[in-house]
Structure 1
Amino acid sequence: MYDIFEQLCKKNNVTPYRVCKETGLTTSTISNWKAGRYTPKQDKLQKIADFFDVSIEYLINGKEKEESSGYYLDEETAKLAQEMFEDEDMRSLFDMKRNMPPERFQAHMDFMKNLYKQENGEDF
């Protein structure tokens, strides 16, 4: 398990000391873990997992559960969904698309694309 921690440190270009400082863990916790004298409890594993933005499962065995891989098929879809969730205008556009006749929505899209081209000198 400590080897996965080391890999995450290398991958994220951080030292164990920095992980300790930012998570509130003690350096002795990490030292004892490295030496095999200690295995961090659930709460400490969660702090480390949160720091690296991974699951505890990944921290323990280097693998994510399939159902933990996320609701969306890929990262781009998840980012778009999050952006739409956070941006009221994006949600409004989505709702208009769903509720407007296709030809009417296409007219609005054509207008926005032309406006974009006028302002930026290139097609959208």
Structure 2
Amino acid sequence: MNIYQKIKDLAASKNISIAELERKLDLSNGSLYKWTKTSPSIDKVKLVANFFEVSTDYLLGLSNDRYSLSDKEKADVGFRVENILNGIETDDKVSFFGEPMDDEDKAAIKAALQTAVAINKEHAKKKRLNQNK
């Protein structure tokens, strides 16, 4: 399935036409159809991916996982994890198995939090998008 067909399917799942999508994204009339013959710029692909809350990899056919996180969502995961870690770093009494947390412990916690937050965000996204069908 090419990028245009994926966009067409995604638009149909949101009950909007391609023309309406182009207007919402401030793209010229017929520009999405042109993607069947020419390669779009990455900025335009990101714009469409963020609108539909899918990854650019999904649109480009590099992934079949429609629910994987978009670049914007990945940045949100990172932001949430940083907020959690900032709370840990400012609290002197936080310990890890009875010992004060060092940088290696914090890095391990950060990696685990990023994975957990990303998994939960993907799960919530899948649930939300399936409810909209």
The TM-score, its normalising length taken from structure 2, stands at 0.47
Structure whose alpha-carbon radius of gyration is higher: 1
Q: Which has the higher contact order (CA 8 A, sep 6+)?
A: 2
Greater helix share, structure number: 1
